[in-house]
Amino acid sequence: MEVKAILDSLNEYYKTKPYLTLAEDDSDSRSPSLNKMENCAYFGILKTLSDSELHEAEEIISEGDYAPIIDFFVQATLHQQPKPVVVKNETIDTVLGRFLDKRSKRVSESRKELLRRFDYASFSEQKKIIKAFLSSNNTSDVEWAAVKADRLWDNSYADFIKVAFERKPIESLALTILHHMPLDYVRALESQLVMFSRSEYCIRLAEESDDLIRKYDLNIFEILYVKARIGGKARLTEFQVGCRFFKFIYSYCQNVQIGIYKSEDSICSIPWIRRALWALGELGYRDILMSFLQMNKYAVDNSIGDKEHGEFYYAQQWMIANCFPLAHVTENIDFSKVREGIENFERPNSIKIDTKEDIDKYDDLPPDIIDTLIEFI
């Protein structure tokens, strides 16, 4: 397998994993959710690369969008050395100078050295490295620096963050802005920031969270997470929360089975499920959590060995019996035809009307729309 194909595969897998926040994981303010097993697999794969392949990988990473796996690559290359080599380190300023000078022809080498030395540098040196990477035209450099800036925030980063976000808005910069930049600036970028994380926007503007939750129509998982993060309470009874929580899971299972969503048939693959479970605990909804565990056990136990039905099907059955007795699991549906209908559906972007008679062609228009159109003709 070619080196680029290996890196692309690792990068793509890593990007599909959701971000955790301090509320879920005490290790960092924001870190990817690879588990210990996946971490071992990543390091194992990278450590199988030969010296020439490592050199090739370094060049590929320096030129492409591989920010998610930079730390893995750096650690893997460090562990690749059979013996520690004692070197006379140049000053950080010297290495930074080469990194910033594109004519030095040592940008890639300098990048690697700065990444290697970052955790051992003084805070003043770390700030210089972060600012240099934020100023880079390489998206991977900026993503790495944005995450580090978030974890090691200093107000001197503000102008660099602004310039980088104006140059290319990306998620890591958006999250750093949401966590640290002044509220006036955050509000000014509302339309852009909510595209990356509407929940984090609601959390930052905690006093306005109820209005923002309605404005952006957050689902029950997001609402629970926001309320737990800001230390509030959902304005619902536990019964209402439970109904909406399981209704969301039920709908997701249904949508996966008819092809609207693409997902593996596993309860743990439902987006935001871990955040929602954490939030339920923070908000004190013990009974809902106990019910969820019962549902999950029922779905997993019954799907084992069943080639026709998976966890989502049995989760729905459990919810029908325990939450929604009037609901039913969709069966005997030709899913291929449903998917074909969804894929081929085209919503008209415009209609052409020159005279009142033309309106008759569109007999599905609401009466108020027809009245408005007649006024303009």
- The helix (H) or strand (E) run that includes residue 230 is helix 220-230
pLDDT tens for the chain, 377 residues: list them.
788 888 888 777 776 665 544 444 444 444 455 666 667 776 677 767 777 887 788 778 777 777 666 766 666 665 555 555 566 788 999 999 999 998 888 899 999 999 999 999 999 999 999 999 999 999 999 999 999 999 999 999 999 999 999 999 999 999 999 999 999 999 999 999 999 999 999 999 999 999 999 999 999 999 999 999 998 877 788 888 999 999 999 999 988 888 787 878 888 889 999 999 999 999 989 899 999 999 999 999 999 988 888 899 999 999 999 987 665 555 545 556 655 665 665 655 566 666 666 666 666 666 656 666 565 55
- The domain total for the chain is 2
Question: What per-residue confidence (pLDDT) applies to 261?
Answer: 79
- Would you say 270 and 252 are in contact if contact means Cβ atoms under 8 Å apart? yes
Which residue spans within the chain are E strands per DSSP?
19-21, 30-32
Question: What per-residue confidence (pLDDT) applies to 27?
Answer: 44
Fill in the DSSP letter of residue 347.
Answer: -
Pair (249, 294) in one structural domain: yes
- Would you say 278 and 23 are in contact if contact means Cβ atoms under 8 Å apart? yes
* Residue (of 18, 11, 12, 48) closest to 35 by Cα position: 18
Residue 372 within a domain: yes
Instruction: Let me know if 94 is exposed, middle or buried by CB neighbors in 10 A (0-12, 13-18, 19+).
Output: exposed
Residue 258 within a domain: yes
pLDDT cut 70: percent of the chain above it: 73
Residue with tokens 């594109």, as numbered in its chain:
102
Residue 152 within a domain: no
Residue with tokens 């994981």, as numbered in its chain:
25
Residue 231 within a domain: no
Q: Please state the separation of Cα 276 from the chain's center in Å.
A: 15
Q: What is the rounded distance in angstroms from the CA atom of residue 67 to the CA atom of residue 179?
A: 20
Pair (352, 364) in one structural domain: yes
Pair (286, 314) in one structural domain: yes
Pair (280, 358) in one structural domain: no
Q: What residues make up the domain containing 333?
A: 239-344
- Would you say 66 and 7 are in contact if contact means Cβ atoms under 8 Å apart? yes
Residue 247 within a domain: yes
Token output for 260 = 């609207």
Which residue spans within 126-212 are E strands per DSSP?
none
Residue 221 within a domain: no
Residue 366 within a domain: yes
Residue 289 within a domain: yes
Pair (313, 243) in one structural domain: yes
